[in-house]
Structure 1
């Protein structure tokens, strides 16, 4: 056989392996990692880091959502709930010290929703980086990003959380965003109360509920992904908790 027309060995298997490796690497999201971009008028930085799962006991809690309504013919206030709606609250700690707080309404029949209008998103803790808050935008969880068991009627801990954020918020230049918020009892989600109640909210002064609208600064866009996998909550099962958020 003429060497000049000798067929070359097929390299397809090698290329195929490389393609599959690249495809899987691109498709698989990094576990226990947050990767967000914050940019706006004179502001541009990343919220990018590995989560400290020793401090993050679970990836959040999901509590059946209930709404109160008042009858037009009586003064009786009734509370209604649906098994498809849950309030999800997560507070994630980074290995570098900062933390991220996220609250949104999860609908088991949808793959996206809105963040809470008063306590939707906040980030702080890193020296030299602005605190960021948001109360407007979308959160996407796809088909299995929020492992809520709709048959559970009490609060349940989340074994993982895989969501994408597309928010409009504020990089704080004035006002106060505490580096570490605490919880207090509340009956109106506005003021703290010394009496024990079934609802709690986050506070920075012990008197009022923390509201992300009470600050000022340049408007920013917040986009990216949040990935958390708990080592203490079994995947595929829901763990109930008595903590009221």
Structure 2
């Protein structure tokens, strides 16, 4: 299966290399366990990918003592350099990459969210890879988040280096296109109630979790993700 996909993307790479001159592309290598590696060169479809993602300030609970001596707990953006980023990139070859990670303007890299993580699915790839481990690097000005804005903001561009660790099933294919996020209490099932944890889902019923089937194989995704959404006006 992967051998045929490698041949497909080899021809696609030759064709796209001549025309890919914008800042909306992915250059990643998918390294499946025991299979030939797949080099993926794809272009982000701006017609359906309206922004590069959303950044929300990470909040922390702080405890303080009032003038009367009473102690209370409040939620405060005490560390306004940290943001939670959720990004969904849809490629012209119909793959969808959903990614959630932590951004800190004082660092050059952050970790994949341990609950929601990432999902790469559908398109010519034809599989669903998911995982909750990995790193995202943004280097200098690699992502345009305004740390002075302590509210949710749309991301108009980024240039990221990713290393994602996940699994996929060798016996199933995927035609999944757009994935949604849902609230979950157990990281397995979606709930209509409120929760502090979210997961990616294709049916709004169950979470796409780490594949534990007997035929599941480990996979590592490494490379560069570039996105430029010119219609987003920085706040």
Q: Please, what TM-score do these two structures have when normalized by structure 1?
A: 0.71
Moved more, 170-179 or 141-150: 170-179
Distance 2:174 2:62 in 1: 32
Partner in structure 1 of residue 14 of structure 2: none
Partner in structure 1 of residue 51 of structure 2: 58
Unpaired segments ≥5 residues, structure 1: 1-28, 239-245
Task: Return the offset for 1:61.
Answer: 0.5
Alpha-carbon displacement from aligned partner over 1:147-172 (angstroms, at most 9, x marks no partner): 11011111100110110012222133
Distance 2:48 2:203 in 1: 24
Partner in structure 2 of residue 229 of structure 1: 228
Map residues 182-197 of structure 1 onto 2, 5 A cutoff: 182-185=180-183, 191-195=189-193
The answer on 1:79 being equivalent to 2:75 is yes
Moved more, 43-52 or 186-195: 186-195
Distance 2:186 2:24 in 1: 34
Matching residue within 114, 124, 127 for 1:130 = 127
Q: 1:151 to 1:177 in 2, by over 3 A?
A: farther
Matching residue within 26, 29, 53 for 1:34 = 26
Does the aligned pair in 1 maintain the 2:181–2:200 contact within 8 Å?
A: yes
The answer on 1:155 being equivalent to 2:152 is yes
Q: Please, what TM-score do these two structures have when normalized by structure 2?
A: 0.74
Distance 1:50 1:87 in 2: 25
Distance 1:197 1:128 in 2: 33
Q: 1:204 to 1:99 in 2, by over 3 A?
A: closer
Moved more, 154-163 or 181-190: 181-190
Partner in structure 2 of residue 17 of structure 1: none
Does the aligned pair in 2 maintain the 1:178–1:204 contact within 8 Å?
A: no
Does the aligned pair in 2 maintain the 1:30–1:227 contact within 8 Å?
A: no
Q: 1:185 to 1:222 in 2, by over 3 A?
A: closer
Q: CA RMSD, aligned part only?
A: 3.3
Secondary structure, in 3 states, of the residue corresponding to 2:58? strand
Moved more, 184-193 or 45-54: 184-193
What is the total number of aligned residue pairs between the two structures? Answer: 205
Task: Return the offset for 1:62.
Answer: 0.3
Task: Return the offset for 1:127.
Answer: 3.9
Secondary structure, in 3 states, of the residue corresponding to 1:147? coil
